[in-house]
Structure 1
Amino acid sequence: MIKVFPRHKLQRIDGFGGSFTEGAGVVYNSMTDTAKSTFLHWYFSEQEHHYSLARMPIQSCDFSLSNYEYISSVEDIKQGKLDFTRDKEHLIPLISDALCINPQMALMASPWSPPACMKTNNDMNGGGKLRSEYYADFAQLIIQYLLTYRRYGIRIQYLSIQNEPVAVKTWDSCLYSVEEETSFAVNYLRPLLEEQGMGDMEIYIWDHDKDGLVDWAEQAFSREENINGINGMAFHWYTGDHFAQVQYLSQCLPDKKLLFSEGCVPMETGDNVGIRHWHTYLHDMVGNFKAGCTGFIDWNLLLNSEGGPNHQGNLCEAPVQYDSKTDTLKRNHSWYGIGHFCRYVQPGARVTLSSSFDASLEEVAFANPDGGHVLVVYNRDACEKTCRVVIDDKETALTLPANGASTLVWHETGE
């Protein structure tokens, strides 16, 4: 039996989406008009996934064609000589086309690395740190980025300070301690946002794997100024479940958002690859939302049939991939897995209490702003499962095939 308690409401959901990267933009620009239209319809139309969240890099990331930065020297910032050529070519057209279909989509921007000239290793790759004497300059660069995008009709609502701030990567990366990240956020970036009339911008820290969430949060929010200046924690899934850490923070920091900001699966071949990828998405999404997650942003929205392009060879699967030789788009298992949530759970929904008698039946329930209710159930077992779904004084029977999922939607009488 699965029990749902629709009036026991928990955290608010901001939405679901994926990431605009230069790699995705390059593939998009290579597509025929028909393929572009289909891609945009699948992701952003009300009839399909209707994505309501998206993320993009500030400067280059691993899924760019190469390292690139908006300046060649710190003096360029003071003189207003920022070069957004790469963004204008590969990111802004794709983002603008998506916003034409869903203008209500909220956007998040994240740096993978400051410009090389501001770092201790003088390189966008390989870690290194942002030099303390350049905190103010890098904050100003981010402000100029936000203002430039606004001039193209793209308003960004969320910022994270650094993608994966404790990871040294062979691609674009930068290291911060908790003190360094929160100081940059609260003492440098937040005041400039206020000056520019962007005080409602949400700032997220961590933006890394779940296994480090609690340690980072406990240090960050031990200071009053950080509680007031930082809106939440962003996290990824690459080190496993760690749902207990998400749940602990949702209880200890109920006023802070817990946003899933990146996840992907590798390009693989062989038996049961699709089922493994399907499991990764369904299992993690159910577990995160049950634990207190407030939104979901997948990694690349679009890649080519090889899982690129990028400048480091760390290829991965995207929910939608394009084969230029045959001019065809392929929807992978992840696209359908995400669809069990994003097609039915509206921005502003609340997670509601639910429970299952069988650990192999993973479930999470939502109450939508329009009065509707949603229950997603995933059968992670290798055999068919049948159960009763009980909602107050009503019930229904549900049968799920092996590794199958089902989404139930209903309105309560009188709503």
Structure 2
Amino acid sequence: MAGPGVSRREAFGLVGAGALASAVPGLAGAATGSPPHERSGPLWFSTRAGQPWRSVAVPELTAAAANPFAMSAQIRLDAPKQTIAGFGGAFSEKGWEALSALPAPARATALERLFGDDGCAFSQCRTPIGANDISRKWYSYDETPGDFALSHFSVANDRETLIPYIKAAKDLRPDLKVWASPWSPPTWMKKGGHYAQAPAWPNNPDNGIRPDQLGREGTDSFIQEDRYFETYARYFARYVEEYAKAGIRIDTVMPQNEFNSAQPFPSCTWTPEGLARFIPFVGREMDKLGVRVFFGTLERGNADLVSAVMAHPEAAAVIKGLGVQWAGKAALPALAERFPKLELWGSEQECGVGTNDWHYARYGWATIKRYFQYGASAWTYWNMAMPKGGMSGWGWPQNSLVEVDTAAGTYRLTEDYWLIRHLAAFVRPGARFVPVDSFLGFDDQLAFRNPDGSLVLVTNNAIAQPLTVRNMIGGRMLSLELAPDSLNTIVLPASMIG
């Protein structure tokens, strides 16, 4: 289990508020103002299926072996790469409903597990502009047809769910950065006049879409007229302004979630040319507010879709980064090569099918590793919280970090939680990604150098037997004995590595 005398029930958070902090090493003293590695010496936490966050003694660094073939990998402290923007997850209406079903002390502890300094310490999160697939129902901020003046614009819906969720997070993490994207514009701005773009999935309520309202990949569902572009850009601006009044700064926006995908939930297809026409409009509005515009989110493994937008100088001048998710990961090599000056974010971890198991967490690790190795500076998990058996509003079972039993008033920290915590808890904004040169075929590691000089090494053992990994760090050797099928985070303070 998580440590001596710790039950599986305790380790996975089923006991409600307070108990977890004393049960699992490294959880005490949440939100105390500085991450654990800045308050102590070297750390090593190891997680296996059903055995999260076990504390392991960190061995001393030794002199380098005379035989170079004794080395598994070299951590290139002399060649740091991209600067890390942060880790986080997505705020959602159903997530806040789940957390709200907990007694206040348990809800506070669950939020500490996500945002506290002794939890995941999330520093950058995503939120939807209007309804998405984890909303309670369809809504936009102005469903009055032809309201080009946006006189009926209102974020009243969000004051019940998303705004209190984000504010609760910011109470623990005041410097939390928030970025946003829409799934669909108001229906009267779309050619089909419907929030969805495809019929409902089998065994789910009919979404009421007609054949003439269906969307299709490679087409523009948004009405391609300047007055609509101008109004939609001001719609973004009004959203940013209203959230600012609520005490929430939106740092970055992306013009459309998964712009190629016609879905049975809120969605809107765009062509690259359509996006290139719209982006200068939203860019002018965001410039007034000091908000960045990223291209995204890209959910296809085709870098040419980005290149087609960047070929338009007015759009390219606006775009400061790229948001990539799902099948978009296949485009990472080409994106890294073509756009080395654009910041690259992993904008949504694949949501699974609600199993919340170790198998899917292992898949998640492989996905995350790919992104950072191709230059990603941020990683965004999808559902931070969902009810047990959680389903999207349109019928897709969902994984989450915190699984809430709304009837019992308890929560469980899932296997995905421990995966994300192995990275997010220790890698601080401003850290640099450090390349790891593999030897003898072992390349299952990620390394980061924090602003305080500490080194965070996340090492995976994917095989069902113990594994010895010998890492060369600045001329000295760190030899690790990894448990079978385990994920490990080792934190070395600056004083230890020079």
TM-score range, shorter chain: over 0.9
Q: Deviations over 1:348-397 (max 9, x none)?
A: 11111212235565111111111111111112223332121111211121
Contact kept, 8 Å, 1:383 with 1:403, in 2: the verdict is: yes
Which one of 250, 253, 267 corresponds to residue 336 of structure 2?
250
Distance 2:382 2:119 in 1: 19
Partner of 2:175: 104
1:48-85, Cα deviation, whole Å (9 max, x unpaired): 11100110111100101111111122444515221322
Task: Say whether 1:211 aligns with 2:211.
Answer: no
* Letter paired with 2:447: A
Normalised to the residue count of structure 2, the TM-score between the two structures is 0.77
Q: Trace 1:85-164 onto structure 2 (pairs within 5 A).
A: 85-126=156-197, 128=215, 129-133=221-225, 134-164=228-258
CA deviations 1:70-115 (Å, max 9, x no partner) are 1122444515221322101011111111111111111011100001
Normalising by structure 1, report the TM-score. 0.92
Q: Which amino acid aligns with 1:211?
A: G
Cα distance in 2 for residues equivalent to 1:363 and 1:312: 37
Shift of residue 9 of structure 1?
Answer: 1.0
For 1:294 and 1:137, the matched residues in 2 are separated by 32
Tell me, which stretches of 5 or more residues in structure 2 are unaligned?
A: 1-71, 198-213, 216-220
Contact 1:206–1:216 under 8 Å retained in 2: no
Shift of 1:201: 1.6
Residue identity over aligned pairs, in percent, reads 26
**Closer, same or farther in 2 for the Cα pair 1:120/1:54, shift >3 Å?**
same
**DSSP-derived class of the 2:457 partner:** strand
Letter of the structure 1 residue corresponding to residue 193 of structure 2:
N
Given residue 143 of structure 1, which amino acid in structure 2 is its aligned partner?
A
1:9 is matched with which residue?
80
| Preserved contact between residue 325 and residue 350 of structure 2 (Cα < 8 Å) | no
Q: Does 1:31 align with 2:102?
A: yes
Aligned residue for 1:266? 352
Task: Please give the alpha-carbon distance, in whole angstroms, between the structure 2 residues aligned to 1:2 and 1:91.
Answer: 44
Cα deviation, residue 143, structure 1: 0.8
Q: Which one of the candidate residues 232, 239, 249 is aligned to 2:321?
A: 232
Which letter maps to 2:122? Y
Kept in 1, the 8 Å contact 2:345–2:379? The answer is: yes
Structure-1 separation of matches of 2:458 and 2:414: 19
Q: Spell out, residue by residue over 1:200-244, the C-alpha distance to the aligned partner (whole angstroms, 9 max, x if none).
A: 3221223132513x112222222333332101110113x3853xx
Distance (Å, rounded) in 2 between the aligned partners of 1:93 and 1:169: 28
Q: In the alignment, which residue of structure 2 is the partner of 1:202?
A: 292
Please tell me the root mean square deviation across aligned C-alpha atoms, in Å. Answer: 1.8
> Which of 168, 182, 189 is the aligned partner of 2:276?
182
Write the distance in 2 (CA, Å) between the matches of 1:42 and 1:77. 43
Alpha-carbon shift at residue 13 of structure 1 (Å): 0.8
Q: Whose strand fraction is larger, Structure 1's or Structure 2's?
A: 1
Q: Counterpart in 2 of 1:407? A: 489
Q: Which amino acid in 2 is paired with 1:397?
A: S
Q: Describe the shift of the 1:192–1:112 C-alpha distance in structure 2 as closer, same or farther (beyond 3 A).
A: same
What SS class does the counterpart of residue 289 from structure 1 fall into? Answer: helix
Displacement of 1:2: 1.6
**In structure 2, do the counterparts of structure 1 residues 211 and 360 end up closer, same or farther at CA, with 3 Å as the change threshold?**
farther
- Mapped to 2, the partners of 1:257 and 1:14 lie a distance apart of 9
Distance 1:82 1:223, change over 3 A: closer
Q: Deviations over 1:236-283 (max 9, x none)?
A: 13x3853xx3233223322101111112333455xxx72311212211
Amino acid at match of 2:398: C
User: Structure 1 residues 110, 358: CA separation in 2 closer, same or farther (over 3 Å shift)?
Assistant: farther
Match status 1:285 vs 2:285? no
Shift of 1:157: 0.4
Separation in 1 of the partners of 2:419 and 2:193? Answer: 41
The verdict on how the C-alpha distance between 1:340 and 1:78 changes in structure 2, with shifts beyond 3 A counting, is same
Superposition pairs for residues 359-378 of structure 1, below 5 Å? 359=441, 361-378=443-460
Secondary structure of 1:132 counterpart: coil
Report the Cα distance in structure 2 between the residues aligned to 1:118 and 1:71, rounded to whole angstroms: 10
CA distance in 2, matches of 1:358, 1:275: 27
- Structure of higher CA gyration radius: 2
CA contact (8 A) 1:303 1:321 kept: yes
Q: Distance in 2 between matches of 1:386 and 1:306?
A: 39
| Alignment partners' CA distance in 1, 2:160 and 2:489 | 39
Deviates more, 1:122-131 or 1:53-62: 122-131
Could you tell me whether the CA contact under 8 Å between 1:120 and 1:131 is conserved in 2?
yes
The residue type paired with residue 312 of structure 2 is R
SS of residue matched to 1:341: helix
138 and 240 in structure 1: CA distance in 2 versus 1, 3 angstrom threshold: closer
